Amino acid sequence: MLPYWGALASSAKLVGNLDALFIDRDGSRIGQGLTQAVQKYSAPGPNLNWRFIKATNLSDDSDIIRMVLQEQIWVAVVIQPNATFRLATARMNGDHTYDPSTAIKVYYSQARNEIATGNYVVPITTQVLQATTSAYATSTAQRVFAQINSNGQPNSTALQMIANAPQTISPAISWTMVNLRPYQAPAAQAVTLVGNIFLCIFAFMITMANSTARAIVSPHMAFMPYLALRLIVPLLAYFPLSLSYALINLAFDLPINTNRFGQGAGFMIFWVYVYLGMAALGLSIEAMITILTPRFTPFFLFTLILYNVSPVVLPDELQPAIYTYGSGFPIWNL
């Protein structure tokens, strides 16, 4: 059980492995001020690994969205183009339609891992933006009111414009969270973790049943037919089991469709992956029963489940480096 405990123990200390992008598309007072503030920001507790990218390196937000969806980064904070100009214009004209949340967009994918995004990525990003934007709003408000009273007499026109659009002073700038892949299917938790344990147990039951049945005929078989029996029977048995496992997810409206292949092909791809995973787990048990015999194979089942599940309870970035072994195991790939 120690590997499972160890997989969870160090997550808070390893939050710095979660990559976050900060991109300034404004290039003016807001963009430059927030970039410097985030670079200097330091708070007790975990912090993300912030990387500051020049806007010229990414043509538009579609490139950033693609990076998030392809799991190259966990979150991206983008200062929108002309944020400073739009704020200044809204103040000058008293534009009551000005929306402070249009100044910054935050892109992330909750469904990549709801634990990492919910416990670390979103709260830490929100904390950073809250602190830096509040400090910016305070300093810019002081500057605006100093200009209004520069001659000792308040500029009534400027005050009227601020009264028309008070949001240009407080909060002045804010942000919009863009969740590119919401986690809207709680049933997926059953499929991605506990369900894979069920697959392993199903494969174990097939192996034990096959072992008992073939013990009757194996003394009368040559080696090659006997070997074929051990391989073909489990692989055939995995077909209906994996299909039933895939079908039960439809009953709970699990979204297994893909943008590229659609609902039907998405289901078939899902079924194939389940079958391949079950074959990998089941044939490993089939191999070990030769060495351990049916009496001791259940001990191997426990080990197989433990070392398959431990690397997947959290993202790789939040686990010690030793858990990268999981990339070579079936459940990690499932």
pLDDT exceeds 80 at position 110: yes
For residue 105 the two structure tokens come to 């967009």
Q: What local confidence, expressed as pLDDT, does residue 147 receive?
A: 72
pLDDT exceeds 90 at position 42: no
- Confidence band, pLDDT 50/70/90 cuts, at residue 4: confident
Q: CA 268, CA 255: separation in Å to the nearest integer?
A: 13
Q: What local confidence, expressed as pLDDT, does residue 162 receive?
A: 78
Question: Does one domain contain both 167 and 282?
Answer: no
Question: Does one domain contain both 159 and 221?
Answer: no
Question: Does one domain contain both 105 and 47?
Answer: yes
Among 54-68, 157-171, 210-224, where is mean pLDDT lowest? 157-171
Q: What local confidence, expressed as pLDDT, does residue 258 receive?
A: 64
Q: What local confidence, expressed as pLDDT, does residue 43 receive?
A: 80
The runs of H, that is alpha helices, within 17-70 are 29-40, 61-69
Among 179, 196, 227, give the residue marking a domain's end. Answer: 179
Question: Does one domain contain both 156 and 214?
Answer: no
Question: Does one domain contain both 146 and 202?
Answer: no
For residue 185 the two structure tokens come to 């299917």
- Confidence band, pLDDT 50/70/90 cuts, at residue 250: confident
Q: What local confidence, expressed as pLDDT, does residue 192 receive?
A: 82
Phi, psi for 71 (deg, rounded to 5): 65, 35
Question: Does one domain contain both 210 and 308?
Answer: yes
> Residues of 232-257 as b/e, b for ≥16 C-beta within 10 angstroms?
ebbbebbeebbeebbeebeeeebebe
Of residues 210, 45, 70, 212, the one with CA closest to residue 131? 45
Question: Does one domain contain both 230 and 255?
Answer: yes
Among 179, 206, 235, give the residue marking a domain's end. Answer: 179
Cis ω before 255 (30° cut-off from 0): no
pLDDT exceeds 70 at position 153: no
Question: Does one domain contain both 320 and 224?
Answer: yes
Number of domains in the chain: 2
Residue 57 CB burial class (10 angstroms; 0-12, 13-18, ≥19) = exposed
Distant-in-sequence, close-in-space partners of 174: CB < 8 Å, separation ≥ 6: 100, 101, 103, 104, 133
Helix-helix angle 262-309:223-251, to 10 degrees: 110
Question: Does one domain contain both 236 and 312?
Answer: yes
pLDDT exceeds 80 at position 112: yes
Q: What local confidence, expressed as pLDDT, does residue 152 receive?
A: 61
How much is the mean pLDDT over the chain? 89
Question: Does one domain contain both 217 and 167?
Answer: no
Q: What local confidence, expressed as pLDDT, does residue 148 receive?
A: 75
pLDDT exceeds 90 at position 167: no
- Confidence band, pLDDT 50/70/90 cuts, at residue 194: confident
- Confidence band, pLDDT 50/70/90 cuts, at residue 131: very high
Q: What local confidence, expressed as pLDDT, does residue 105 receive?
A: 96
pTM over 0.85: yes
Question: 3-state class of 25 per DSSP?
Answer: coil
- Over the stretch 205-234, which tens digit does the pLDDT of each residue have? 999 998 888 888 888 889 998 888 899 999
Distance between alpha carbon 10 and the CA centroid of its chain, in Å? Answer: 18
177: left (phi over 0), alpha (psi -120 to 50) or beta: beta
Q: For position 21, which CATH number holds?
A: 3.40.1710
Question: Does one domain contain both 325 and 202?
Answer: yes
The CA distances from residue 191 to 36, 235, 332, in Å, are 43, 21, 13
DSSP type of residue 258: B
- Confidence band, pLDDT 50/70/90 cuts, at residue 249: confident
Of residues 54, 56, 47, 101, the one with CA closest to residue 74? 47
Q: Greatest CA span in the chain, whole angstroms? A: 108
Rounded-to-5 percentages of helix, strand, coil across the chain: 70, 10, 25
Q: CA 277, CA 257: separation in Å to the nearest integer?
A: 19
Percent of the chain past pLDDT 70, that is, above it, reads: 96
Residue 177's DSSP bridge partners are: 106
Q: Which domain holds residue 163?
A: 2-179
Among 179, 204, 232, give the residue marking a domain's end. Answer: 179
Question: Does one domain contain both 59 and 78?
Answer: yes
Q: CA 74, CA 112: separation in Å to the nearest integer?
A: 9
Residue with token string 């426990």: 302
Q: CA 286, CA 213: separation in Å to the nearest integer?
A: 14
